[in-house]
Structure 1
Amino acid sequence: MSDHVELRSGVYVDSVGLMQVSRQVAATPGVRAAQVAMATDLNVEVLTGMGFAVPGHAAPNDLVVAVRADDEEHLRAGLAAVEAAFAALRPGGRGTGGAAEGATGQAVPPRTLGRAVAVAGADLALVSVPGRCAAVEAFDAVDRGVSVMVFSDNVPVEDEVRLKDAAAARDVLVMGPDCGTAVVAGVALGFANVVDRGPVGIVAASGTGAQQVMALLDAAGVGTSHCLGVGGRDLSAAVAGRSTRQALAALDADPATERILVVSKPPAPEVLADLEAYAAQLGTPVHWATLGPGSPDLTAAVEALLRATGHEVPAWPRWTPAAAVDATGEPGTGPGDRHLRGLFCGGTLADEAMLIASPALGGIRSNIPLSPQLALGTDLTAKDHVVVDFGDDALTRGRAHPMIDPTLRLERIATEATDPSCGVLLLDLVLGYGAHADPGPELASAVAGARATAAAAGRDLPVVVSLTGTRGDPQGLERTAEALAAAGAVVHLSNAAATRAAVDLLSPRPGRRPGSDEGQP
């Protein structure tokens, strides 16, 4: 076996491109493992766990290339595949449509976002660069009087506030930072599902939350006029709903929008109250799907909107294998304490799951905890109820979002299968544009493998999946759901229903009153 590890300084490639390089190299004959990534602490830890010797002076701004092959000949082939993959990512390998011509007559791409806006005559710009650079590019667009979607995460909150104040002064909209989902006049940006045009406009301080409500509306036969993402922090006390106000005003002025639905992770109470007062002055009725203790879950909020508009609330789709434990039947049995292990790609779906499950289970530890004392350590594990958001900013520095590259979560599923304290696995899977081209087979294989591992140890491991998607999504909603059900998972379109099913499958702990705080730090 031959290993090669090198650092390349002064090179940056976005995480999606690096994932493509890694997969292409890993498919080279004779290559046993390949990882090409920025040398963040997380990625170095992953590489070390794979057995690669990463130089101690590696820094987050370095690119690390790690390849393991059967022998030196295959290693050379793997390294050649690295260079070929990088060449395909360069502008010359992809074409440079829309650029001006240089002195040689060849197309020269614009070197600034402002210049690109001027050349294209655009009224909306999308920024997806490292977080430390995103604000500069976004300001360039706002200065040109153009609305901007900032896909980048890890942008300082101070920059977000200044950027949104500048946008308000120019009467344009900043979607983001960390805006993963938007649909503008039927055009999907970032992660988004295929939905019909319709009367409901969405303002979303949440990516997967927006996708969940769009998927539920689609299942009820109701379309979306626009979905304007505002970034997950917009309803925080620091940002104070700056973009939400702009988005509400824009949808109120849109003749195609008859109802507005605001979707958010748990907001700051004073910000929500201020926005509710503002919304009450608008001509378009505004509904609220803002998560929090005592507030309706996303499915309940959609159902309330449907009833208010005279639409029938459907039976939300659910897929079960013939041999599965029914979520309304007897819970599975097995030795030891049985705990919920929620492994999520969507932060809002993880938040919703914890809010629904906590009254029945007590404290749930997480890397995005509902209260600070329930925060997980850096290893993200605990012998208790656990929900992990693999899409959190801290886990996506220098690597693709788990909706694109599910490697870390797949590894964790296998680990949970060996843990006797894991009583049920609760997973999400989000389909649509921007996501993994066909995530169903990989997740189904992981589910089947986890259940088989548990069965070999004499345990039953129920698996419940929250599947967010629509009938038009390129991955195929029905096909994906059926593959997961065939692997032994119970699958729900509603994340709220999936969470309740998972909680119902847990045996109560002996001597512990459901909903008590026992086990909290």
Structure 2
Amino acid sequence: MIFTIIKKNSYQDSINLMLLTNAISATEGVNKAQIMMGTPANKDIYKASGLYTAELESAESNDMAIVIDTDDENKVNEVLEKVEEYLQNQAISNKGQDYETVRTWDRAKKALPDATLALISVPGQYAAEEAEKALDLGLHTFIFSDNMPMEDEVRLKKKAHEKGLLVMGPDCGTGIIDGIPVAFANVIKKGRIGIVGASGTGIQEVSAIIDRLGEGVSHAIGTGGRDLKEPVGAITMMDGIRALENHAQTEVICVISKPPAKAVRNEVVDLLQSVSKPVVAIFLGEKPTQYEGNVYQAYTLEETALIAVDLAKGNEIKANYNSGNYDVEHIELKPDQKTIKGLFSGGTLASEAAVLLSDALGLGSEITNEDGYVFKKDGHIVVDLGDDKYTQGKPHPMIDPETRARFIEEAGADEKTAVIVLDFVLGYGSHDDMATALLPSIKKAVAHANSEGRTLPIVASVCGTVSDPQDYHAQKKLLSEAGVIVKDSNNEAVRTALAIIGLKVNDVEKTHVEVTAPAKTFDLTVSKEMGDLVNQKPSVINVGLKSFTDSIVAYGGRVVQFDWRPIAGGNEKMRKILALLK
């Protein structure tokens, strides 16, 4: 039987409700449960999961919808008690906070008149409207929200550029502004390497390796994953590069991008050749054969960090940073064990793994994401479990282990699996102990393989630093003691997995060539607002997820919490009418 309870005017952010759903689903006697706000998009998720009921018709975007599938009607009250307890605990945890909470933009600006940045994490259909308001108030915007139409992104970024402001996002997961981690980010020492990245976990991997090598990061400016696509034209990336060029404390610039549009990529490189500072650039999937002028193009994220550190220290730049011995002794596989299963929580880490696997198989380094798989051929798979296909109504796999645990067990049951590759991404926003959360499934997969006479090696990397909220060394130790082969980078982990099945990446020795100045000249000056962003600690209006205030407060930023609710109770028709009347 399916039971539906609608809690009117009881708005909660999506991550809270996803975590609450997981807790409720674990209740004995509950077959299935889902708790979401009553938005049209969420109603579609209810339909897809077989939990849609007639009662959901009346739910609006500001109403909490609780749907429970159970054979025992008494379980409904038990679930409702757990929901009330969870919400009460949330309310208690918000008391005693050392920042002000407001409900309107006017009050937010009065509470923090010198605010420079709006951090927006509202549901996607509302994000563009809130970002527009922030820009009109003269604020740079960091848009964590996803599912924004491309035309809105282009419009917002053009408007920001004209106003001398920066739009980071949408779907921007990671940033570091003057040492302050923003959204999903690691705690990185401040230093002289600046990053602009169209990639969340790409920024995390590069910045974490830089930190562990003893250097630091001045800023890490996320752009959102679509910034280098043709319609957007790298507006944010190019403005971010200009900002770092004008930032005195930044001595080396890093650029990180998922596969870009060719014309946009070339425009970015022309700009990079025009700046005065040395640059390390990675366009994932491109396999460079030379360094060109002041632009040192890398093939892997680890190489990006290593070159940046050598440039910062004034060391000689090597022709090849990827050479090394990745062999693992005493692993005997059965003849049918030939495939690698890469199960990733980080999208860019998954893409890097796919590039290296494709390269080692002799298929080239260009990849395409198809049907939720970054790579799928001859039994080999690399999957980004943070893809929309796997996160509809569920928390991101950096937060919740459930989806990845299932994939690990399925990979262990496949007699052709030779090795499983995993990433563990630490930092603010991520699960507080993912190693412990996934070890039961890892052990189960290995035990199942052993019961069938198979050895099943697990190779993992931990993306993080010793200053992260999780214990970096403890996470590595937990995995190692459980028999997991733990490497220092995703690059090393993937190459180790390749070595286990007798493959290796075909690396090249890069030469350094001088280049003539680009025919096109660029204006490298920046606005006062852009200068303020990179030369001052950010003052932030946080619109949405309260948890994003934690890192800002912890590292010396100022913040006011905008306790956002859908306008007109989420009624779309009324919301549009109100917008027209303003």
Where on the TM-score scale, by shorter chain, does this alignment land: which range? 0.7 to 0.9
Match of 2:17 in 1: 18
Residue 193 of structure 2 contacts residue 308 of structure 2 at CA under 8 Å; is this kept in 1? no
Match of 1:234 in 2: 227
Residue 462 of structure 1 contacts residue 489 of structure 1 at CA under 8 Å; is this kept in 2? yes
2:150 to 143, 149, 157: 157
Closer/same/farther in 2, CA of residues 293 and 480 from structure 1, 3 Å limit? same
Corresponding letter in the other structure for 2:306: E
Match of 1:485 in 2: 480
Closer/same/farther in 2, CA of residues 376 and 332 from structure 1, 3 Å limit? farther
Give the C-alpha shift of residue 23 in structure 1: 4.7
Q: How far apart, CA to CA, are the structure 1 residues paired with 2:226 and 2:458?
A: 31
Residue 363 of structure 1 contacts residue 385 of structure 1 at CA under 8 Å; is this kept in 2? no
**1:36 and 2:35 correspond:** yes
Corresponding letter in the other structure for 1:334: K
| Mapping of residues 362-511 of structure 1, within 5 Å | 370-371=367-368, 375-376=370-371, 384-506=379-501
418-427 or 87-96: bigger deviation? 87-96
Q: How far apart, CA to CA, are the structure 2 residues paired with 1:476 and 1:70?
A: 42
Give the C-alpha shift of residue 388 in structure 1: 0.9
Give the C-alpha shift of residue 489 in structure 1: 1.2
Residue 199 of structure 1 contacts residue 223 of structure 1 at CA under 8 Å; is this kept in 2? yes
Residue 42 of structure 1 contacts residue 395 of structure 1 at CA under 8 Å; is this kept in 2? no
Match of 1:80 in 2: 81
Corresponding letter in the other structure for 2:83: V
Match of 2:185 in 1: 192
Residue 331 of structure 1 contacts residue 506 of structure 1 at CA under 8 Å; is this kept in 2? no
Q: How far apart, CA to CA, are the structure 1 residues paired with 2:313 and 2:97?
A: 49
**1:148 and 2:167 correspond:** no
SS in 2 for 1:460: coil
Closer/same/farther in 2, CA of residues 418 and 54 from structure 1, 3 Å limit? farther
Give the C-alpha shift of residue 164 in structure 1: 0.5
Give the C-alpha shift of residue 41 in structure 1: 5.9
Residue 14 of structure 1 contacts residue 398 of structure 1 at CA under 8 Å; is this kept in 2? no
The Cα offsets for residues 398-445 of structure 1, whole Å up to 9 and x where unpaired, read as 332111112111111112111112221111110011111111101222
Between 1 and 2, higher relative CO (CA 8 Å, sep ≥ 6) is seen in 2
Residue 459 of structure 2 contacts residue 497 of structure 2 at CA under 8 Å; is this kept in 1? yes
Closer/same/farther in 2, CA of residues 40 and 228 from structure 1, 3 Å limit? farther
Match of 1:104 in 2: none
Closer/same/farther in 2, CA of residues 118 and 244 from structure 1, 3 Å limit? farther
User: Identity, % of aligned pairs?
Assistant: 36
Closer/same/farther in 2, CA of residues 69 and 91 from structure 1, 3 Å limit? same
Unaligned runs of 5+ in 1: 100-106, 317-325, 516-521
Match of 1:304 in 2: 307
SS in 2 for 1:391: coil
Residue 128 of structure 1 contacts residue 151 of structure 1 at CA under 8 Å; is this kept in 2? yes
Match of 2:350 in 1: 350
Unaligned runs of 5+ in 2: 289-298, 507-582
Q: How far apart, CA to CA, are the structure 2 residues paired with 1:377 and 1:246?
A: 32
Closer/same/farther in 2, CA of residues 115 and 159 from structure 1, 3 Å limit? farther
Q: How far apart, CA to CA, are the structure 1 residues paired with 2:380 and 2:26?
A: 37
Match of 1:359 in 2: 359
Closer/same/farther in 2, CA of residues 40 and 222 from structure 1, 3 Å limit? farther
SS in 2 for 1:280: helix
1:218 to 211, 218, 242: 211
Match of 2:524 in 1: none
Residue 331 of structure 1 contacts residue 504 of structure 1 at CA under 8 Å; is this kept in 2? no
Residue 67 of structure 1 contacts residue 79 of structure 1 at CA under 8 Å; is this kept in 2? no
Q: How far apart, CA to CA, are the structure 2 residues paired with 1:43 and 1:340?
A: 34
Q: How far apart, CA to CA, are the structure 2 residues paired with 1:6 and 1:506?
A: 52
Corresponding letter in the other structure for 1:294: K
Residue 332 of structure 1 contacts residue 505 of structure 1 at CA under 8 Å; is this kept in 2? no
The alignment's C-alpha RMSD in Å is 3.5
Match of 1:292 in 2: 285
Residue 255 of structure 2 contacts residue 279 of structure 2 at CA under 8 Å; is this kept in 1? yes
> Aligned residue pairs: how many?
480
Q: How far apart, CA to CA, are the structure 2 residues paired with 1:514 and 1:257?
A: 33
Closer/same/farther in 2, CA of residues 430 and 92 from structure 1, 3 Å limit? closer
Residue 356 of structure 2 contacts residue 505 of structure 2 at CA under 8 Å; is this kept in 1? no
Q: How far apart, CA to CA, are the structure 2 residues paired with 1:438 and 1:136?
A: 36
SS in 2 for 1:309: helix
Residue 18 of structure 1 contacts residue 399 of structure 1 at CA under 8 Å; is this kept in 2? no
Give the C-alpha shift of residue 292 in structure 1: 1.8
- Per the normalisation by structure 2, the TM-score is 0.74
Give the C-alpha shift of residue 469 in structure 1: 0.6
Corresponding letter in the other structure for 2:356: I
Q: How far apart, CA to CA, are the structure 2 residues paired with 1:277 and 1:514?
A: 29
1:278 to 271, 277, 299: 271
Q: How far apart, CA to CA, are the structure 2 residues paired with 1:64 and 1:381?
A: 37
Match of 2:111 in 1: 119
Residue 4 of structure 1 contacts residue 67 of structure 1 at CA under 8 Å; is this kept in 2? yes
Closer/same/farther in 2, CA of residues 5 and 330 from structure 1, 3 Å limit? farther
